[in-house]
């Protein structure tokens, strides 16, 4: 080749034994050129000149996009084991509001963000209630969308709920930047009235904000929406809130309310029948699939293959560690493949490449950030994960993507880059603070 152009001289090169761009096949002995936090070039094969950072024996891939997190709830890891879902939710809510201060939730969210970064997650679809999830994303330079949650099952609560939503969104938007954005999340059909859904929808439309909703997660939710009975209905009745049988699925109900659109992320969407899949594809909705959380809470298996076949973008999410216990995108990829193979009764139903795409580009699509994140292509942000393959459990490796999906874990992540900068974390003080919060929570 000719001598490097002036542009290339300004560029920094990060080399690795393998580079998996996701947008194309893995490249052996390759390098990524970075300038001003963005990818300028991805080059395979040996070429003259050194590298600014070199990771021989490693795989470099796009930073994982964890499409569904609740960073604020990280200190509840292991605190709610083995409870039935409605009670799990009640205990979680009570603890969040009655036992944890804002300072506690700041530490909790920071711990969660550190856990993500250590495990190669560079962007999140965060559900934030008190706002500390957003603060942690800003503090640590993570990308993604923080969806400000809003709750209110009774129609009469809608005014107050909207006032606090608007104030929280206005506060968060002051620090919005590039690929770190603010959205809105009316929490779930069993915590939000139809009036509040409609007002949240209008607010999002007027302010061009993306929306994320928990939907079609449990049998209890299906019963509540369709028939107006079950544990969620009993909870509403105890609070004198009238319950209406909607005679449709949770997704059918949200469609009726005008919630489903191209800027809507449906979280879980487990109980999505053929009609639901069709309405989601038509509306341009995307899905955050949370395999490990769904399994742990004893929920069913989402029809991911149906979504993909219909062209519905699917990303992978961990959900909160209160229902997941460890943010490990390798485990999520693996479980996503296994669950679909089991559901279809077919070992060819999904492969490792499809899972890696969901954990990166799929998640980026869910968040509407596919122009910035999800693949190693010129123009996108230089957010990477470096996975150390020098581990007996990853040896031998016949195909780097198969090894990443079927054998690797978060423990194999040796470096994470955000906008071209290697992330350096001192998690020690945050771990100590979180342990002291946990001691307080566990005290009788
Ligand atoms: Zn969730």
What pLDDT band is residue 5 in, cutting at 50, 70 and 90? low
CA 101 to ligand 1 center in whole angstroms: 21
| 189 closest CA partner among 146, 141, 224, 148 | 224
CA 132 to ligand 1 center in whole angstroms: 16
In this model, does residue 382 exceed pLDDT 80? yes
Which pLDDT value is given to residue 1? Answer: 42
| Per-residue model confidence as pLDDT tens digits over 260-305 | 999 999 999 999 999 999 999 999 999 999 999 999 999 999 999 9
Average confidence score pLDDT of the chain: 95
For CATH 2.30.40.10, the residue range(s) in the chain are: 6-62+378-422
CA 423 to ligand 1 center in whole angstroms: 26
In this model, does residue 8 exceed pLDDT 80? no
CA 69 to ligand 1 center in whole angstroms: 7
Give me the phi and psi of 272, to 5 degrees please. -115, 110
| 38 closest CA partner among 388, 375, 329, 315 | 375
Which pLDDT value is given to residue 444? Answer: 76
Homologous superfamily (CATH) of 64-366 is Metal-dependent hydrolases (3.20.20.140)
Report the CATH architecture of 6-62+378-422. Roll (2.30)
What is the Cα–Cα distance from 393 to 409, expressed in whole angstroms?
10
CA 341 to ligand 1 center in whole angstroms: 24
Question: 264-268 and 211-215 as β-strands: parallel, antiparallel, unpaired?
Answer: parallel
| Per-residue model confidence as pLDDT tens digits over 238-257 | 999 999 999 999 999 999 99
CA 241 to ligand 1 center in whole angstroms: 24
CA 330 to ligand 1 center in whole angstroms: 19
CA 184 to ligand 1 center in whole angstroms: 13
CA 126 to ligand 1 center in whole angstroms: 9
Which SS3 state, helix, strand or coil, does residue 36 take?
A: coil
Which pLDDT value is given to residue 3? Answer: 46
Which pLDDT value is given to residue 335? Answer: 98
| 145 closest CA partner among 174, 115, 184 | 184
CA 15 to ligand 1 center in whole angstroms: 36
CA 230 to ligand 1 center in whole angstroms: 21
**DSSP 8-state secondary structure symbol assigned to residue 323:** T
CA 259 to ligand 1 center in whole angstroms: 18
Is the link from the previous residue into 396 a cis peptide, with omega within 30 of 0? yes
CB atoms within 10 A of CB 83: 14
For CATH 3.20.20.140, the residue range(s) in the chain are: 64-366
């Amino acid at each position: 080749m000719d001598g490097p152009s002036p542009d290339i001289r300004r560029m920094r090169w990060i080399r690795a034994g393998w580079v998996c761009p996701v947008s194309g096949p893995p490249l052996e002995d390759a390098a990524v050129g970075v300038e001003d936090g963005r990818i300028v070039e991805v080059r395979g094969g040996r070429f003259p000149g050194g590298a600014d950072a070199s990771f021989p024996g490693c795989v470099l891939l796009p930073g994982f996009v964890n499409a569904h997190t609740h960073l604020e709830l990280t200190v509840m890891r292991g605190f709610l084991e083995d409870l039935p879902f409605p009670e799990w939710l009640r205990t979680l809510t009570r603890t969040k509001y009655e036992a944890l201060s804002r300072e506690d939730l700041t530490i909790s969210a920071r711990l969660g963000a550190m856990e993500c970064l250590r495990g190669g997650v560079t962007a999140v679809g965060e559900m934030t209630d008190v706002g500390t999830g957003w603060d942690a994303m800003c503090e640590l330079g993570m990308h993604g969308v923080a969806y400000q949650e809003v709750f209110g099952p009774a129609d009469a609560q809608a005014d107050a709920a909207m006032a606090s939503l608007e104030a929280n969104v206005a506060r968060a938007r002051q620090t919005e930047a590039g690929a770190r954005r603010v959205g809105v999340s009316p929490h779930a059909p069993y915590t939000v009235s139809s009036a509040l859904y409609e007002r949240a929808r209008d607010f999002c439309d007027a302010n061009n904000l993306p929306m994320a909703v928990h939907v079609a997660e449990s049998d209890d939710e299906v019963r509540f929406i369709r028939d107006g009975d079950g544990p969620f209905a009993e909870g509403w009745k105890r609070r004198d809130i009238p319950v209406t049988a909607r005679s449709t699925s949770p997704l059918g109900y949200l469609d009726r309310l005008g919630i489903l659109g191209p800027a809507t992320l449906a979280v879980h969407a487990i109980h999505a029948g053929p009609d639901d899949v069709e309405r989601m594809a038509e509306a341009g909705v995307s899905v955050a699939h949370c395999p490990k959380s769904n399994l742990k809470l004893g929920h069913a298996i989402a029809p991911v293959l149906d979504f993909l076949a219909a062209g519905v973008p699917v990303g992978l999410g961990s959900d909160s560690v209160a229902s997941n216990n460890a943010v490990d995108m390798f485990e999520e990829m693996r479980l996503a493949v296994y669950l679909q193979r089991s559901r279809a009764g077919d070992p060819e139903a999904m492969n490792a490449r499809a899972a890696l795409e969901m954990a990166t580009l799929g998640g980026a699509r869910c968040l509407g950030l596919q122009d910035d994140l999800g693949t190693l292509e010129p123009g996108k942000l230089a957010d990477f994960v470096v996975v150390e393959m020098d581990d007996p459990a990853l040896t031998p490796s016949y195909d780097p993507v198969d090894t990443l999906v079927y054998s690797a874990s978060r423990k194999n992540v040796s470096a994470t880059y955000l906008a071209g900068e290697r992330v350096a974390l001192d998690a020690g003080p945050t771990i100590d603070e979180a342990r002291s919060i946990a001691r307080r929570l566990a005290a009788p």
